[in-house]
């Protein structure tokens, strides 16, 4: 019986996930997962003074070199085409493994696009997620 208990305890230790493992979860609150490149991108929406405000959160996803090389995130709202950008932001302000940005003036039919700010031009209308699909913040 003692052997069984010791084996069970040893197996539990081997199968346990280390507490120090970083878990790629969205920030606190309700967020919609948008996409993944080197980072993981999330967004949510709320009613603003002039339309819908979209909040974005880009998770570092373990890529600490991004901080060293001043690589951040780019976010935009597109209306009707890839060229008609309503609001856009770029930030390298990493805090607690996230870059957060706020975009204003969106409508429910607009599309939001977020990407790592390390690669080429975006196609925010073609590839974006419709604002109406976002979780409410």
Q: What pLDDT digit, counting tens, does each position of 23-63 carry?
A: 556 788 899 999 999 999 999 999 999 999 999 999 999 98
Specify the CATH number for the domain of residue 97.
2.60.40
Q: What pLDDT digit, counting tens, does each position of 105-125 carry?
A: 999 999 999 999 987 788 999
Domain membership of residue 7 (yes or no) is no
Domain membership of residue 10 (yes or no) is no
Q: Which structural domain, as residue segments, surrounds residue 29? A: 25-136
User: How many domains are contained in the chain?
Assistant: 1
Q: Does the predicted model carry a pTM greater than 0.85?
A: no
* Residue 99: closest CA among 108, 107, 89, 109: 89
Domain membership of residue 48 (yes or no) is yes
Residue 93 has pLDDT above 90, yes or no: yes
pLDDT of residue 120: 79
Distance CA 67, CA 49 (A): 34
Domain membership of residue 12 (yes or no) is no
Domain membership of residue 125 (yes or no) is yes
Sign of the Cα pseudo-torsion (103, 108, 110, 114, in order) = positive
Domain membership of residue 97 (yes or no) is yes
Contact yes or no for 131/52 (Cβ under 8 A): yes
Domain membership of residue 47 (yes or no) is yes
Domain membership of residue 1 (yes or no) is no
């Amino acid at each position: 019986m003692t052997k069984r208990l010791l084996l069970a305890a040893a197996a539990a230790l081997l199968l346990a996930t280390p507490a120090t493992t970083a878990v790629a979860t969205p920030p606190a609150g309700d967020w919609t997962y948008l996409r993944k490149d080197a980072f993981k991108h999330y967004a949510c929406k709320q009613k603003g003074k002039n339309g819908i405000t979209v909040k974005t959160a880009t998770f570092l996803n373990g890529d600490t070199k991004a901080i060293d090389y001043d690589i951040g995130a780019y976010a935009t709202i597109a209306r009707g085409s890839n060229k008609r950008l309503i609001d856009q932001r770029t930030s390298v302000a990493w805090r607690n493994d996230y870059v957060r940005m706020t975009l204003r003036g969106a409508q429910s039919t607009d599309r939001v696009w977020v990407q790592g700010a390390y690669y080429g031009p975006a196609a925010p209308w073609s590839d974006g997620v419709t604002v109406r699909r976002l979780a409410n913040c």
